[in-house]
Amino acid sequence: MILTSHPGPIGVFDSGYGGLTILNEFRQRMPELDFVYMGDNARAPYGPRSYEVVYAYTLQAVSKLFEMGCQLVILACNTASAKALRTIQQRDLPNIDANRRVLGVIRPTVEVINDYTTTKHVGIFGTVGTIQSESYQMEIAKFYPDISVVGEACPMWVALVENGEANSTGADYFVQKHIDAILQRDAEIDTFLLGCTHYPLLFEKIRKYTPPSVQIVSQGAIVAQSLHKYLSRHPEMAARCTTNGTCSYFTTENPDKFNEAAGNFLNHPVQALHLKV
Ligand code: DGL
């Protein structure tokens, strides 16, 4: 891998389309920054995959984004953040380039979760991988040991979104099922965290089956605010991020397919390019 230290765009990575919900918020909050989005659509979903596989795929994606000139990469995917981020930060980055950074979506979300809950009972929805990793439980326990956390894996939710079924009547069954299940396990929950970047697309359905006393927290704005603060605290990294307000899109699948589906996540057309990992 040949890497330069020239300033570059910020890389935003997801297994598929879900990271676009995070990218939207980045661009709204920091329109001056340049971004490169990469969706590993050919190998999505990551949710059911093992640690080894999620780590290997995520490292390949991060390496590609580094080769494309990114000095900072955001894993806009909870599954990759849960299963690959720590190893990449601790083991790989020092060997690849100690000045580059890779950040995830779990930590910034955990940092603010206490602002939302009064009962100190939080429910997290995520992929099987994210929930089984217990990353949210462990991180929340470090910051706020008094918060009790229940995780609920929702294996069908990503599939509903990826297949354009988020607003279908069929989606109601799978959404209600997991909301009922999590509330049965802990009736004191007053905050649902959508711990998967695909789930904001199901927001209306989730709201429909959630008691009005429970608030639903999406990560996009939280992660965007956190990135904004990070760049203010790290002017040396901000200086390594270019600012022409551009965004380019890459997918490991067919670009036409990506362009069409991305319309469900973005309110403007995109022209993605194919990327081989
Ligand atoms: N976007 C991923 C996440 O936030 C889920 C999609 C997948 O399973 O690949 O966990």
Query: Could you list the pLDDT tens digit for every one of the 277 residues in the chain?
Result: 778 789 999 999 999 999 999 999 999 999 999 999 999 999 999 999 999 999 999 999 999 999 999 999 999 999 999 999 999 999 999 999 999 999 999 999 999 999 999 999 999 999 999 999 999 999 999 999 999 999 999 999 999 998 889 999 999 999 999 999 999 999 999 999 999 999 999 999 999 999 999 999 999 999 999 999 999 999 999 999 999 999 999 999 999 999 999 988 898 999 999 999 8
Do residues 168 and 186 share a domain? yes
pLDDT at res. 163: 85
Domain with 144, as residue range(s), is 107-218
pLDDT at res. 162: 84
- The alpha carbon of 130 and the centre of ligand 1 are apart by a number of angstroms equal to 9
Identify the residues whose C-beta falls under 6 Å from ligand 1.
14-16, 18, 44-47, 77-79, 127, 130, 158, 196-198
Residues 6+ apart with CB under 8 A from 177: none
Straight-line distance from the first to the last Cα atom of the chain, in angstroms, rounded to the nearest whole number: 13
Indicate which atom in ligand 1 lies nearest the CA of residue 162.
6
| Whole-number Å distance between alpha carbons of 202 and 221 | 16
pLDDT at res. 190: 98
- The alpha carbon of 30 and the centre of ligand 1 are apart by a number of angstroms equal to 24
pLDDT at res. 1: 72
CATH number at residue 197: 3.40.50.1860
Name the residue of 23, 24, 158 whose CB sits within 8 Å of the most ligand 1 atoms, as the mutation to test its pocket: 158
- The alpha carbon of 42 and the centre of ligand 1 are apart by a number of angstroms equal to 13
Indicate which atom in ligand 1 lies nearest the CA of residue 48.
8
pLDDT at res. 113: 98
pLDDT at res. 164: 86
Strand-strand pairing, 72-75 and 10-14 = parallel
Identify whether 145 is part of a domain: yes
Identify whether 261 is part of a domain: yes
Do residues 242 and 167 share a domain? no
Q: Please tell me the residue having the least CA distance from ligand 1 atom 8.
A: 47
Do residues 203 and 227 share a domain? no
Q: Please tell me the residue having the least CA distance from ligand 1 atom 2.
A: 77
Tell which residue, 209, 218, 224, 46, has the closest CA to residue 127.
46
Indicate which atom in ligand 1 lies nearest the CA of residue 196.
4
Identify whether 3 is part of a domain: no
pLDDT at res. 2: 73
